[in-house]
A = this chain, B = another copy of it.
Amino acid sequence: MDEHEISKVVVKRLPRYYRYLGDLLEAKVERISSGELSELMNVTASQIRQDLNNFGGFGQQGYGYNVKYLYDEIGKILGLDKVYNMIIVGAGNLGQALANYVKFEKNGFLIKGLFDVKPELKGVSVRGIEIRMTDELPQFIRKHDIQIAALTLPKSGAEVIAPVLAENGVKAIWNFAHTDLHLPPTVVVENVHLSESLMHLSYNLNHMD
């Protein structure tokens, strides 16, 4: 399928294309040209055509792109045509926010379990999902074939638990802890560092002109 390596910046832009195409689909737009999409998204038409052509010719000369087709194709490239078993480790506010966010399930990310270290949370349910203790993790991951784990724990807990997840077969970690996890290169790590995002905002706020 992949003839050549796709650059990271292109991959980072795909979800945004997917979002805009989803919006267009909802608005019942059937076709769109790179020029129109470029105005909508505030990027150059050239970049859109270059980006999409990394994955094959999705458009048609003189016509543009079929919205539904392009949406589905990008969905497949992103792996959204598949279903994933996911757990959330850390059942605090952030973990519960993720657990309650139904849209993830719609995209094929099924939340199978919620874990925490605090004994007082044992047995509490969030959206019908019972909170379990982290010592049950190895068994649970294997039994339910968990591929993805969201880590919504403090740094120290995340660093201890991440290797356990990896050892038991978790293939990707969505890391909200303020640390860079050191894991085997076979494990995908996607970081969401909220403090760093807020600092970035702060920089921009102080360097307007």
* Interface residues, chain A, with chain B CB atoms under 8 Å away: 2, 6, 11-12, 14-16, 18-19, 42, 77-80, 82, 84, 92-94, 96-98, 100-101, 103-104, 107, 109, 147-148, 171-172, 174, 178, 180, 186, 188, 190, 192-208
Q: Are B202 and A78 in contact (CB under 8 A)?
A: yes
Known interface pairs A93-B96, A204-B172, A205-B188. Does A109 touch B198 (Cβ–Cβ under 8 Å)? yes
Contacts of A80 in B (CB 8 A): 199, 202
| 23 A-B interface contacts by CB (under 8 A) | A14-B200, A15-B196, A15-B197, A16-B193, A16-B196, A77-B203, A78-B203, A78-B206, A92-B100, A93-B93, A101-B194, A107-B195, A107-B198, A109-B202, A148-B201, A171-B205, A172-B201, A174-B201, A186-B208, A188-B201, A188-B204, A188-B205, A188-B208
Cβ-closest 10 pairs across A and B: A93-B97, A15-B196, A190-B201, A79-B206, A15-B199, A94-B97, A79-B202, A188-B204, A172-B205, A78-B199
> How many of these chains are in the complex?
2
Known interface pairs A186-B208, A188-B208. Does A12 touch B97 (Cβ–Cβ under 8 Å)? no
Contacts of A92 in B (CB 8 A): 97, 100
Which chain B residue shows the least CB distance to A23? Answer: B179
Q: Are A107 and B199 in contact (CB under 8 A)?
A: yes
Known interface pairs A79-B205, A171-B205. Does A200 touch B15 (Cβ–Cβ under 8 Å)? yes
Which chain B residue shows the least CB distance to A205? Answer: B172
